[in-house]
Amino acid sequence: MLEYFFRRLLGAIPTIFIIILVSFFLIRLAPGGPFDFDKTLAPEIQANLNTKFHLDEPVYVQFGYYLKDILQGDFGPSFQYKNYTVTELIAQGFPVSVQLGLSAMALALLLGSAAGILAAYRQNSKFDYGVMTISMLGISVPNFVMAPILILIFAIVFSFLPAGGWNDGAFQNRILPIVTLALPQIAYIARISRGSMIEVLRSPFIRTAFSKGLPTFYILTRHALKPTLLPVISYMGPAIAGIITGSVVVEQIYGIPGLGRYFVQGALNRDYTLVMGVVVFYGVFIILLNLIVDLLYGWLDPQIRLQARKT
Amino acid sequence: MSALLEANNISIDFATESGVVHAVRDANIELFEGEVLGVVGESGSGKTQLMLGMLKLLPENAVTTGEVIYSDKDLLTLNKLDINRIRSNEIAMIFQDPMSSLNPYLKVSRQLTETLILNQKIDKQTALKQAIEILEKVRIPDAARRVHDYPYQFSGGMRQRIMIAMALLRKPKVLIADEPTTALDVTVQAEILALLKSLRDEFALSIILITHDMSIVAGQCDRVVIMYAGQPVEMASLDELFYAPKHPYTQGLLAAAKSQSGLTDKLVSIPGHPPVNTGIQLGCAFYPRCEQRLDVCQRDMPVMTGSNTQQQACHLYER
């Protein structure tokens, strides 16, 4: 198991290298640079800055410097947020994004799979149709539409939740962003687990379980739940990554100091080191999550577990 | 002698997107204590559906009518709790494909002991001990260790033994075996059948054996029901069925079986295909394929007639 884990980590190195390579050159292809302000700087200052950050050297030399720094775990200083290193900014923003993302995911997993499983068990009932209709809405309404609607209803009309701001992570400030992030995930997970449950309920081993006279609730929870959740689990890896990295828009709307906001600001300001730092960080994070999902899969499915042990 | 299990006028209809399918039409079948009743028919003749219907195991789009009498109760009218008690302790069923009929995500130990613990309120330790004993009885080597394995760690034949063990562990009076050896190698098949036979005496089982293999019927059964298009067409003791088959379909099946086993040079088959079980059926379902058909067969549905030991639904034997 441990050997498998490390082998997968080694395999991720080329992927991360390609991420660094592509994003490094892409951001430099974008017009403008980090020190283009409304008011042009004096040429000497501009030249000084460029020399300090190696921007006057050929791009491949810059890439060499960057790789060297990254290998030492140094993402460099931010071009925009003076006195901050990129590492510091990530350390500040990421925990906020993670808290939001994981809460949203936990909520989605709980509500989504419960709704999906019940809908499958009562297939073609009113409850089933209701869940499917609502989840269709949840999937098709984008979060930049959902967020203003929620703000309108809960912050302005009923005014019992703040419209935005972080307020050092106060509970009522978290509710709307978490719900906004969770809604589409609830919908997806409900659909996945419903389809999966329907398939599992038709399988011969469930018929065997019923033929043994076991109570229905027991069969659903002990016999059907694990295989039903397998596709949900494999969806979870990319979904958690997506919800944490993709909270860019939601963080912007609610004014939350998460990593997504730095990402957007960094890209707009051509803050090369900040964008690069966040991209590399996200890349590693997504790879790790997928690895965790694979390990979870092994834990759920005994057959995969054994194969992993053999290799 | 009254029957141990008796199904009267069972009809099973499936509501499908392309209309109603009549899987079983007005079937009567009875199982006497201690006997092995063979239920024979080709794929789609409704033999499995009939058994599943009797235990209320069919999906929700199936409608089962009629009555299933077991110890003075009609199983079809029982509530969930009572039917679960019957399934758990009285009538056990084993299925065709041992590969997919065991839960791949649960250890064999759990699958064996769960009914004992839940339905019969036996404590975990005792249940596990009984599970190991029964695995030894169905000749799983090294049972005490292997009981903690997962199903995929066993071969097909072993899995079917586990299925059988799972049924016997509940000490049922009736065992319904749905083509228990179809998915297995011929040699394994023989072992499983021999095992069933020895266990039958030891556990005082009455068995319904569903199969389409005439050689299994000859080796295992005391009495046989032949099904065609959702209906029993002939019911007879083993000897009468093999030496004096009456229904033309039975005769055709036997001729085909004989030719398949190499007793004749030519491969004999019944021409045509079984009918699609939709719509209203006026005459005999076998009419289009029958070589001895009469005019009346197309108009009137034949009813079961005959002696105590052999009955058939065929106009040839009506007076």
**Is the confidence at residue A115, as pLDDT, over 70?**
yes
Domain spans of chain B? 5-90+172-317, 101-171
Domain B5-90+172-317 top-level CATH class: alpha beta
β-sheet bridge partners, residue B94: B177
Which is it for strands B62-70 and B36-40: parallel, antiparallel or unpaired? unpaired
Q: Nearest 5°: CA angle at A45, between A43 and A46? A: 60
pLDDT tens readout for residues B283-304? 888 888 888 888 888 888 888 8
ipTM, two decimals, is 0.90
Chain A contact present for B160, CB below 8 A: no
Residue in the block written with tokens 């980590």: A9
Is A223 in contact with B87 (Cβ distance < 8 A)?
Answer: no
Q: Give the 3-state secondary structure of residue A124.
A: coil
Is B118 in contact with A214 (Cβ distance < 8 A)?
Answer: yes
Q: Half-sphere exposure (CA, 13 Å, Cβ side) for A257?
A: 9
Q: How confident is the model at residue A248 (pLDDT cuts 50, 70, 90)?
A: confident
pLDDT tens readout for residues B24-80? 999 999 999 999 999 998 888 889 999 999 999 998 889 999 999 998 999 999 999
Query: What single-letter DSSP state applies at residue B121?
Result: -
Is B95 in contact with A218 (Cβ distance < 8 A)?
Answer: no
Is A28 part of any domain?
no
Q: Which residues contact B157 (CB under 8 A, 6 or more apart)?
A: B98, B184, B185, B188, B191, B192
pLDDT computed for residue A305 by the predictor: 67
Residue of A nearest to B170 (CA): A212
Return d(Cα A297, Cα A291) in angstroms, integer: 10
pLDDT tens readout for residues B74-98? 999 999 999 999 999 999 999 988 8
Return d(Cα B136, Cα B157) in angstroms, integer: 15
Return d(Cα B98, Cα A204) in angstroms, integer: 9
**CATH number of the domain encompassing residue A289:** 1.10.3720.10
Is B104 in contact with A205 (Cβ distance < 8 A)?
Answer: yes
**Is the confidence at residue A40, as pLDDT, over 60?**
yes
Between residues B117 and A41, which one has the greater pLDDT?
B117
Percent of chain B with pLDDT over 90: 54
Is A120 part of any domain?
yes
Beta-strand ranges (E) seen in A59-196 are none
Q: Which candidate in B101, B163, B171 is best for mutational testing of the A interface (most A CBs within 10 A)?
A: B101
Return d(Cα B198, Cα B65) in angstroms, integer: 35
Q: Give the 3-state secondary structure of residue A229.
A: helix
Is B103 in contact with A209 (Cβ distance < 8 A)?
Answer: yes
**Is the confidence at residue B1, as pLDDT, over 70?**
no
Element (H, E) at B39: strand B36-40
Is A149 part of any domain?
yes
Chain B contact present for A226, CB below 8 A: yes
Chain B contact present for A301, CB below 8 A: yes
Which is it for strands B304-306 and B62-70: parallel, antiparallel or unpaired? unpaired
Q: Which residues of B touch A305 (CB under 8 A)?
A: none
Is A223 in contact with B103 (Cβ distance < 8 A)?
Answer: yes
Q: Which residues of A touch B101 (CB under 8 A)?
A: 204-205, 207-208
- From the list A232, A217, A266, the residue with the least C-alpha distance to A76 is A266
- Of B95, B106, B150, nearest to A223 by CB-CB distance is B106
Q: Give the 3-state secondary structure of residue B125.
A: helix
Residue-number span of the structural domain to which A304 is assigned: 86-310
pLDDT computed for residue B275 by the predictor: 77
Q: Which residues of B touch A227 (CB under 8 A)?
A: 104-105
**Is the confidence at residue A111, as pLDDT, over 60?**
yes
- Of B100, B150, B166, nearest to A302 by CB-CB distance is B150
Is A254 part of any domain?
yes
Q: What is the mean pLDDT of chain B?
A: 89
Return d(Cα A34, Cα A81) in angstroms, integer: 11
**Is the confidence at residue A308, as pLDDT, over 70?**
no
Q: How confident is the model at residue A38 (pLDDT cuts 50, 70, 90)?
A: low
Which residues 140-159 in chain B show a CB within 8 A of chain A?
A: 150, 152-153
Q: Which candidate in A128, A211, A223 is best for mutational testing of the B interface (most B CBs within 10 A)?
A: A211
* pTM score of the predicted model: 0.81
User: Which of A48-52, A165-169, A211-215 is modeled with the greatest confidence?
Assistant: A211-215
pLDDT tens readout for residues A173-223? 899 999 999 999 999 999 999 999 999 999 999 999 999 999 999 999 999
Domain count, chain A: 1
